[in-house]
Structure 1
Amino acid sequence: MKKIEYGMDFVARNLGIFKCPVCGRSFEKIVHKSVSCDQGHLFDFSKKGTLYFLKHGVKSDYNDETMWQARRNVLQAGLFQPIVDEISSFLSENRSLRIIDAGCGEGSTLKYFENKRESNKDIYVGFDISKRAINLATQGEGSAFFCIADLAQLPFAANSFDAIIDMFSPSAYGEFERILKKGGILFKVIPNENYLIELRHMLYEKNDNHYSYSNAEVLSLFKQHYPQARVKRINYEFTLKETSFEDLLYMTPLHWGAAETKIDDALATGLAKITVDVLLLMVEND
């Protein structure tokens, strides 16, 4: 089945998941190669089977194709595998779930969930604001549907998902609460101070703001919304034997503000392993 045919078939089978971002009404049918709401607003499927739900153009540093390819290489080598394993341990094994990845990037996280939970026949949706990332996500095998969407105005119906995965991405808690089913779980992953610390210290001097990191502001905001949330620290070392240091360097925005001499020195020196240090924040929608 061609990508566009798969995308159209997925949406046709799951129309109830989506809503029109223009008028907020339900999508009603597939018309030729578009999906239409009952007010006649049309959204065309791309050749890759994706839908573009943004109502205006967006300029973003995250449309860097080199970064997304590097990120795919590192994630497929297993950089975040322990994190995804931990999230998966909280998901029901007894039924199929609707799972959405907010800020899904190039799609590797959803593919890992699908492989790990293949017997559950879950429904997977990923969205990102980066068209380049979504185009790359469609190149892989898997059942997930991908779209370009605005975090602040999600094109999904209320009470549509059993789990929201938000790994290192911004959040729109009001929208998350709207699309999450009662009893569903929001998983948010944020960096700790030692996340990729070896790379951070290679690229910046001690007097630079990027030399250290604090998640205090992000954590405080999450706890304001969800004082009952569970917090679990995940810390491990990842050996770079299955991927290159160059991919690690370019997969993260850390290199954006670094001096060229620092980048050159880092590439010449390299690293054998890197620290992954994050907080997993979890809250059930009750």
Structure 2
Amino acid sequence: MLKKIDKSAQYLAQNIDLLRCPLCHTSFTLAGYALICENRHTYNISKKGVVNFLTIKPDTTHYTRKMFEPRRQLIQAGMYAPVLSEMQSMLTPGNLLDVGSGEGSFLELLDVAGHKFGFDIALDGVNMATELTDMQAFFSLSDLTNLPFADQSMATVLNIFTPSNYREFDRVLAHGGQVMKVIPDRYYLQELRSAFGLPIDYDNGAVLAKFAENFPDLTHKEIKYEFALPKHLQQDFLSMSPLEWQISKADKLEIAKQPPETATIHVKILQGKKS
């Protein structure tokens, strides 16, 4: 089996024309384990197979392995299977970019006739993504406002529960390409919100309006169902979301005595196409 660094180097060698330097926007060449642009800006592939394109420190304190591991367990257990099935039906051939890819499970579970790319600002997330050894993809630490991908290099941009930058999405999308954005709807994870003493209703109006502003001809699909949490994953459910940051450790210990047994998945999948 190839080392992670070699696997990434091979993947980049095949797709070098899909990247650009985030500092000067020129093209890269690959020299050993380093990406070098025309102006000699250099980015090294880490032993984990990740390239750090950030000009700031990556996030190592908020979105950590402690949160990503429970999330991975629940995704792999099928918590989002109906959502992913609908997204799969909407995919078109071509390169796929997962924005804010976290630990990589969403990208792993989608099949596409093209190359896969994911990025995040969370160091633990991208490092965990490279542990999904059966997936052929390249992961990086990158800035949403200045993506290291070439103009018109992607057929689909995935935006699953993460912030957007529509200027950059438009730049990297090929003509006829699409953005698929998944946003929480009113009752998303209401059991978790209820357990934590937070308002159950979620208002996605501002996010939806911003998407519609950029894609006036958008289509959307609402999906709502209950997922029965396996007994061994009910504690993981309490740790999978940033919502837990809003409660004390003592309160969480009390909630853990009787964790939720179901999770409501209520989302909208927004689809916008570049004209």
Instruction: Say yes or no: TM over 0.5.
Output: yes
Task: Specify the alignment match of 1:55 in structure 2.
Answer: 55
**CA displacement at 1:184 relative to structure 2:** 1.0
Q: Deviations over 1:157-202 (max 9, x none)?
A: 0100111111000000000010011111110000011000011011
1:234 is the counterpart of 2:223 = yes
Task: Specify the alignment match of 1:140 in structure 2.
Answer: 132
% identical aligned pairs: 34
| Alpha carbons 1:73, 1:243 under 8 Å: kept | no
Task: Name the stretch that deviates more: 263-272 or 136-145.
Answer: 263-272
Task: Specify the alignment match of 2:171 in structure 1.
Answer: 178
Letter in 2 for 1:104: S
For residue 161 of structure 2, the aligned residue among 159, 163, 168 is 168
1:262 is the counterpart of 2:255 = no
1:106 is the counterpart of 2:103 = yes
Letter in 2 for 1:97: G
Cα distance in 2 for residues equivalent to 1:12 and 1:161: 17
Task: Specify the alignment match of 2:82 in structure 1.
Answer: 82
Over 3 Å counting, the alpha-carbon distance change for 1:174 and 1:243 in structure 2 is farther
Cα distance in 2 for residues equivalent to 1:171 and 1:137: 21
1:124 is the counterpart of 2:116 = yes
Cα distance in 1 for residues equivalent to 2:57 and 2:153: 27
Over 3 Å counting, the alpha-carbon distance change for 1:147 and 1:59 in structure 2 is closer
1:157 is the counterpart of 2:150 = yes
Letter in 2 for 1:75: I
TM-score (norm: length of structure 1): 0.91
**CA displacement at 1:59 relative to structure 2:** 4.3
TM-score (norm: length of structure 2): 0.95
Letter in 1 for 2:13: A
1:250 is the counterpart of 2:239 = yes
Q: Deviations over 1:71-95 (max 9, x none)?
A: 1111111111111110111123xxx
Cα distance in 1 for residues equivalent to 2:59 and 2:97: 24
Cα distance in 2 for residues equivalent to 1:81 and 1:36: 40
Cα distance in 2 for residues equivalent to 1:232 and 1:54: 34
Task: Specify the alignment match of 2:45 in structure 1.
Answer: 45
Which structure 2 segments of 5+ residues have no match? none
Cα distance in 2 for residues equivalent to 1:78 and 1:7: 28
Letter in 2 for 1:140: L
Cα distance in 1 for residues equivalent to 2:63 and 2:192: 22
Task: Specify the alignment match of 1:35 in structure 2.
Answer: 35
Task: Name the stretch that deviates more: 253-262 or 150-159.
Answer: 253-262
CA-based RMSD of the aligned residues comes to: 1.5
**CA displacement at 1:219 relative to structure 2:** 1.1
1:195 is the counterpart of 2:196 = no
Cα distance in 1 for residues equivalent to 2:250 and 2:186: 25
Over 3 Å counting, the alpha-carbon distance change for 1:190 and 1:247 in structure 2 is same
